[in-house]
A and B are shown apart, each in its own frame.
Chain A
Amino acid sequence: MPWTRIYGSRTEFEKALKDTPGLRGITYKEAIREATAQLLSTDKSVFVIGEGVDDSGGVFGTTKGLQEEFGKERVMDSPLAENGITGVCVGAAAAGMKPILVHMRTDFLPISLDQILNHAAKWHYMFGGSVNVSLVIRSIIGRGWGSAAQHSQSLQAMFMNIPGLRVIMPATPFDAKGLLIASVRDGNPVIMIEHRWLYDHMGHVPEEMYEVPLGKAVVRKTGNDATIVAVSHMVHEAVQAAEALLDEGIDCEVIDLRTLKPMDSATIIESVRKTGRLIVADTGWKECAVGAEVMAKVAEAGVALRSPLVRVNLPEAPTPASPVLEKAYYPGKNDIIEAARKTVGNGKRQAEHINNSPVL
């Protein structure tokens, strides 16, 4: 399946383009733009709003030219009023519209938590299902070049805790388009968190509109020794780690969660039942977050493990600015490799220990 394939580099994808007839390649940011344009063309109730969506750059290219194409009424710049504008979107949605609200940074979401948590997430339930809020809130995780503590946060875990919300973190151009379309059509409030470093990734993206179902993870690579569950940018790090680990004779399975809420427990549990080992690689912090939830689901399912679980996360500190500190801050491929070696090694030792134990 061309859409399950993660390409490590643009060169690799361009080679694949040549070799595979029918493969259409665009970048992650182009995929978001294409999905948005198609949604605007096909559904009059869709509109786009956000700070700077009409800038010449168009939110890193994801909204570029949309205002020229669809007009100022449907692609509108917003005052710097995150909570107010989120509320405007919630109200517009309750009145039948399907807004796509765009934030340049995930860090701006906390300003609008009242409307997200107290209003959007509750509106359908609190009124016995008589009105729904179709709202997609896009936001972008910044990283690097000294973005520092207020322009680089991965806040997905906060939203995973709230019933009524859905949370998605597409890792590939194919999923970015398909999940965005599915989210706008879903009829619930969806928090879509993108990673700035994914924007120039290329991948296969069909031109027509299609949906990637919410709540379905995907196995990016099969393997038997350990399961690596990853999200967003960490999926790419995990795939690279898994490839490198093959040279050491460690064959990992890589699962891209894609949707964090609702989480596809079945796919995770099935994989961990097979491998008996689990590593979770997240773009955010460790406590009460993606890894904790994945592990809880595995534990609740009573999956027998061959080795202790390992989480790969940001260290317990805000993001620093200095390049030296920043480099030390972000985990990546090597940390996942290290985690896999540890968990597989542990498992072997445990197995040896059991084998060497005297029979009572």
Chain B
Amino acid sequence: MKDILLRYGLNTLTKKVLIDLYESMLRIRMFEEKIVELYPEQEMKCPVHLCIGQEAIAAGVCLHLHKNDFVFSNHRGHGHCLAKGTPMKPLMAEFYGKETGCSKGKGGSMHIIDIENGILGTSAIVGGGIPMGVGAALASSMKGEDNVTAIFFGDGAFDEGAFYESFNFASLKKLPVVFVCENNFYATNSHQSARQSGCRISESAASFDSRGHCVDGNDPLAVYKAAQDAVALARKGGGPSLIEAKTYRWKGHVGPEEDWTKGCRPKEELDYWKEQCPIKKFTALLLEKGAMTTEEMEQAKSVINAELAEAVEFAKASPFPKATALLEDVYYEAKK
């Protein structure tokens, strides 16, 4: 394994980190696959935006974050939250619209919150969470705290003015932010090349006097290394960085189906990217290099399966919010 890790500049990486990367990706994949399995029951009555195929990015970035570091995610956000440490129960219950959900059933799958793990709420407006993340970083900086904020967004959000306004401000104030663009090449069904003249997202960081890294988003070690540098820089007051991680979403923009059947994208493209599956490739590497055994992997799967089973049971058994909750929490009421 050492020879491989040297190539990434990760020669001091421990076996534990390799296992953590594997398990984090696997936990996201299995969570999303469980949704695919259960969604046809139509008990989860909210849109779901799955990140199958993109797991390496959330895993590689979040492994560098402390519990009190902030993560701002987007509509395709299950993976980011799981990687940051969000337990499955309140997520699953939220998707089922239950009062035990992380947002008491008011948010649905696109609006995840987990304050304990630094997730202060998730916007489903493309690019909407980016300035908010910068604001959270501003708050950390003003309070003299050493938290870092990681902001996940897609290549679609790179079309939005909010990105530029936010990046400029973060750079101007040298805020501790890591911008993570998950470039899966599609905004719904619109290809990046139909929306962007340059298609060189990471290079835009230079305009804001910041660092940009373009990495293979399906390679957890590449993401891990880029995030390591970016998080370290942010934490020591060096300002923001931009990581562009190229990847591919296997499912359609929304829902549990693949979308090539509807003519949204070519099947050959999906087939190619399935070959680049981050988990499959990393599994092969770990086994080949003896970093993990098949038994250890099976053990990891059964632990995740148990967590999933418990989460689904909890979600299904939980009560729906009472109708009287409809008008609760529209406004915050200060405790007198």
Contact = CB atoms under 8 A, between A and B. Distances in A.
Interface stretch (A5-13, A88-96, A252-260, A339-347): A88-96
Interface string A183-199: 00111100000000000
B134 A95 contact: no
A50 interface: no
Contacts of B134: 84, 87-88, 91
Contacts of A86: 131
A265 interface: no
B330 A84 contact: no
Contact of B121 (A73, A88, A127): A127
Residue among B101, B113, B120, B128 with most chain A CB within 10 A: B120
Residue among A85, A95, A96, A163 with most chain B CB within 10 A: A95
Interface in A78-107: 78-79, 81, 83-97
Interface string A141-165: 0000000000000000000000110
Interface in A59-77: 73-74
A102 to B, nearest CB: 16
Contacts of A94: 120-121, 132, 135-136
B306 interface: no
B131 A124 contact: no
Contact of B165 (A85, A129, A185, A187): A85
A186 B336 CA distance: 11
A87 B166 contact: yes
A360 interface: no
A128 B121 contact: no
Interface in B98-136: 101-107, 111, 113, 115, 120-121, 123, 125, 128, 130-136
Given A87-B134, A95-B136, A186-B334, A126 B168 contact: no
B113 A91 contact: no
A95 B131 contact: no
A185 B334 contact: yes
A78 B135 CA distance: 13
A127 B138 contact: no
Given A83-B131, A114-B125, A130-B113, A91 B136 contact: yes
A127 B107 CA distance: 6
Contact of A91 (B135, B143, B161, B328): B135
Contact of A84 (B72, B103, B140, B161): B161
A181 B334 CA distance: 14
B159 to A, nearest CB: 14
A2 B162 CA distance: 46
A84 B164 CA distance: 8
B169 interface: yes
Contacts of A123: 121
A279 to B, nearest CB: 30
Nearest to A262: B331
A84 B332 contact: no
A79 B165 contact: yes
B224 interface: no
A181 to B, nearest CB: 13
A93 B333 CA distance: 15
Interface in A102-147: 114-115, 118-119, 123-134
Contacts of A81: 161, 164-166, 168-169
Contacts of B104: 127-129
Interface string A23-49: 000000000000000000000000100
B228 to A, nearest CB: 24
Given A85-B131, A87-B130, A87-B162, A128 B107 contact: yes
Contacts of B169: 78-79, 81, 84-85, 88
Interface string B83-109: 000000000000000000111111100
A94 B135 CA distance: 8
A187 B133 contact: no
A119 B132 contact: yes
Residue among B115, B136, B333 with most chain A CB within 10 A: B136
B131 A115 contact: yes
B166 A97 contact: no
Interface string B303-336: 0000000000000000000000000111111100
A128 B133 contact: no
A164 B331 contact: yes
Contacts of A96: 139, 143
B166 A88 contact: yes
20 contacts: A79-B165, A81-B168, A83-B161, A83-B162, A84-B134, A84-B161, A87-B130, A87-B131, A91-B136, A94-B120, A94-B132, A97-B139, A119-B123, A119-B132, A126-B121, A127-B107, A128-B103, A128-B105, A129-B104, A133-B332
Closest CB pairs A-B (n = 4): A87-B131, A91-B135, A84-B165, A128-B104
Interface of B: 70, 72, 101-107, 111, 113, 115, 120-121, 123, 125, 128, 130-140, 142-143, 161-162, 164-166, 168-169, 172, 328-334
Interface of A: 47, 73-74, 78-79, 81, 83-97, 114-115, 118-119, 123-134, 163-164, 166, 185-188
